[in-house]
Amino acid sequence: MMSRRRSAAGQPRRRISLRTMGGLCLTMAFLLCCPLLHAEEGIPELGKITIRDLQDTGDRPASRAAYTMAAGNTSWRGLQATEGERENFSTFAAARQTPPDEYGDVTAEDVGEAGAAAKESADEYGDVAPDSATAAKPQVQIADPLRPFNVAMFHFNDKLYFWMWKPAATGYKYVMPQPFRQLFSNFYRNLTAPVRILNNLFQGKPGYAGEELAKLLINSTVGVGGLRNCAEECFGIKGRNADFGQTLGKWGLGPGFYLVLPFLGPSSPRDGFGFLVDWALRPQTYVGTEFFDYQNVGLFVHEKINSTSFRIGEYEALKKAAVDPYVSMRDIYIQYRTDLIENR
Amino acid sequence: MRKVLAGLMIFIISMIPLHAFAASALDMVKTNANSVLDVLRDPKLKGDAGKKVKEQKIEAAAEKLFDYVELSKRTLGLNWNRLSMDQRKEFVDLFKTLLRNTYIDRITAYTNEKVEFTKEMQLTETTTEVQSVVTKGNTTVPINYRVIKKGNDWMVYDVVIEGVSLISNYRTQFRDILGSNPPQVLIDTLRKRVGK
């Protein structure tokens, strides 16, 4: 019964579907042929492509060299193993199996080093061409003329961390519950609001300066003297970190050279000076009677131990990842600071 | 007739180039990262045995996601050309082991971090940057993956954490070694470093 009814009802439907399917087929075929038609129209375009192709192969002698190199290796190996033809064949087959240029030579472009040269040459006269701007970023580097001093300071700070900061922070973490450490962290951060407000202004970011001002006002009142970061938690005001070294960088001043400061860690003349300016902008500084005395430095040490208690293990991880910890830290410093200045 | 048309239809559809459906770089990284996160958050995988399983799964995912040869080339830069073919192969192997040993513990230590993939940004014709933000407590860390198109897949060749590029960091270190030493010294240093 069912099947009969279906076929009876299906008869007219089938015709429609035949027609629609045919139509669909035609449309699809037409759409697919469109590019072909277009290609036929633009025959000169084809010529362009071949030229470009030729240029392309000219640009990449590396892969060819790699291939000949692989082949050379094989024949050399083959000469060594003249006794067994089978061995010879198998080495050849093995060489053939690996993609010829996977391990081949590279050009500066392949490894993203060409961008550096292009940018340097264009940099002298200001604007960077969009091409080189979108190309792989050139490597950021910092001069290190005081290397022996810096290495000594690196080891000093390293020992300082393992013998002083880390045990102090661990002990502190043990006796001070997490919520209290968070309160201290919020409190100190709220106090240093002038540093961020002014530097955001100096960097031409009045919007963020306003956000930081709002945070200061909200956290000092609703957040009970800055103990709670209510501006962010209740109102979602994020604000923006800013320091004077970064401001100088935004103004176009380079870092100068690498300088590891005792107690403070990786820095440069620019950022060291920036630290002094920020120190002057911190209200905590004026707790003492002098610019540096046991009171404001003492507060700074507590702030540092408090913040270290949240980040035990981070320095160790960075050091563990490095092949040469000193060079690695120097590179992390300059990459991080450059990113802060250029991208944030 | 109908069958013929249907067959024709299937034929035509099959003509549409497949790469039109290739996943975007962001989706690719996201899918792989999420599969790793699922493994990490699996409550059944606990203790030493669970950690072993986790490590194996992460390694398998990393193998699919990372292009270690590309990564090595970009890390060595033009110094790559100074290495012999055998040294290149050994370098790739040692560097891979170094990265594995360094990061596997940190990855398995992941627990309640929230990972959010925000956007992708084309760098060059073949490379793209996939940006993500990792949130733990009230700290956020931007982590960007630089990927290169290899056939139909996107392979990671660099990871940028808070503006610090992994390959740039190693490149500076290796350049420092290679500046005054032959490539074999670098290989020996790495060999010692990974304990081989």
Mean pLDDT of B58-69: 88
The model's pTM: 0.72
**What was the pLDDT predicted at B27?**
87
Confirm or reject contact between B30 and chain A (CB < 8 A): no
Tens of pLDDT, residues B28-61: 888 888 888 888 888 777 778 888 888 888 888 8
Separation CA A117–CA A128 (nearest Å): 12
Is B193 in the A-facing interface, judged by CB distances under 8 Å? yes
pLDDT of res. A180 = 94
Alpha-carbon A123 to chain mean position? 22
The pLDDT of residue A29 is 55
B 70-129 residues with CB < 8 A to A: 73-74, 76-78, 80-81, 85, 88-89, 92, 98, 102-103, 106, 122-124, 127
Residues of chain B with C-beta less than 8 angstroms from the C-beta of A328 = 169, 172-173
CB < 8 Å to A322, chain B: 169, 173
Question: pLDDT by residue (tens digit) across B95-135?
Answer: 999 999 888 888 887 777 888 999 888 888 889 999 999 98
> B129 with A112: CB under 8 angstroms?
no
**Do residues A195 and A282 touch, judged by C-beta distance below 8 A?**
yes
Candidates B127, B129, B125, B104; CA nearest to B117 is B129
Cα A159 to Cα A157: distance, rounded to the nearest angstrom: 5
Burial class (CB in 10 A: 0-12, 13-18, 19+), B72: buried
pLDDT in tens, chain A (344 residues): 444 454 444 455 555 565 666 665 565 555 544 444 444 333 333 333 333 333 333 333 333 333 333 333 333 333 333 344 444 444 444 444 445 567 888 877 777 765 433 333 333 323 323 333 333 456 788 999 999 999 999 999 999 999 999 999 999 999 999 999 999 999 999 999 999 999 999 999 999 999 999 999 999 998 888 898 888 888 888 889 999 999 999 999 999 999 999 999 999 999 999 999 999 999 999 988 889 989 999 999 999 999 999 999 889 999 999 999 999 999 999 999 999 999 88
> Which of 248-307 (A) contact B at CB < 8 A?
none
Whose CA is closest to A141, among A264, A254, A275?
A254
The pair phi, psi for residue B161, each rounded to 5°, is -110, 120
Maximum CA extent, chain A: 104
Mutate to test the interface with A, among B172, B191, B193 (most CBs of A within 10 A): B172
- Spell out the residues 6+ positions from residue B43 whose beta carbon is closer than 8 angstroms to its own: none
Q: Measuring CA to CA, which residue among A97, A91, A141 is closest to residue A116?
A: A141
3-state SS assignment for residue B118:
strand
The rounded distance, in Å, linking the Cα atoms of A238 and A231 is 8
Computed on alpha carbons and rounded to an integer, the radius of gyration of chain A in Å comes to 33
Are the Cβ atoms of B81 and A332 closer than 8 angstroms? no
State both tokens at B83. 């290495």
* Chain B partners within 8 Å of A29 (Cβ): 12
Q: At what angle do helices B183-194 and B166-180 cross, to 10 degrees?
A: 130
Q: Which pLDDT belongs to residue A27?
A: 59
B115 to chain A nearest CA, in Å? 19
Q: Which residue has the tokens 């830290």?
A: A329
Give the closest-approach CA distance of A232 to chain B in angstroms. 10
Count A/B contacts: CB-CB distance under 8 Å: 111
Ramachandran assignment for A112, one of left (phi > 0), alpha (psi -120 to 50 degrees), beta (any other): left
pLDDT number for residue A342: 92
Chain B: residue nearest A311 by CA? B139
CA distance linking residue A344 with residue A341, whole number of Å: 6
Residues from chain B contacting residue A113 (CB–CB below 8 Å): 77-78
For the cut 80, the answer to whether the pLDDT of residue B4 exceeds it is no
Q: Determine the Cα–Cα distance for residues B44 and A11; give it in Å rounded to an integer.
A: 58
Mutate: best of B69, B159, B165, B191, partner A, most A CBs <10 A: B165
In the numeric block, the tokens 């990927």 are attached to B147
Query: For residues A205 and A240, is the Cβ–Cβ distance under 8 A?
Result: yes
Q: Report the share of chain B in percent with pLDDT over 90.
A: 39
CA distance A323 to B167: 13
In degrees, rounded to 5, the angle at the alpha carbon of residue A335 between the alpha carbons of residues A333 and A339 is 115
Distance (Å, whole) CA A110 – CA B87: 19
Q: Which residues, listed in sequence order, are joined to residue B127 by a DSSP beta bridge?
A: B148
In whole angstroms, what is the distance from residue B118 CA to residue A91 CA?
47
Q: Is A185 on the interface with B (CB under 8 A)?
A: no
DSSP assignment letter at B66: B
Phi-psi region of A225 (alpha: psi -120 to 50; beta: other; left: phi over 0): left
CB atoms B169 and A343 under 8 Å? no
Instruction: Answer yes or no: do B2 and A17 touch at CB < 8 A.
Output: yes
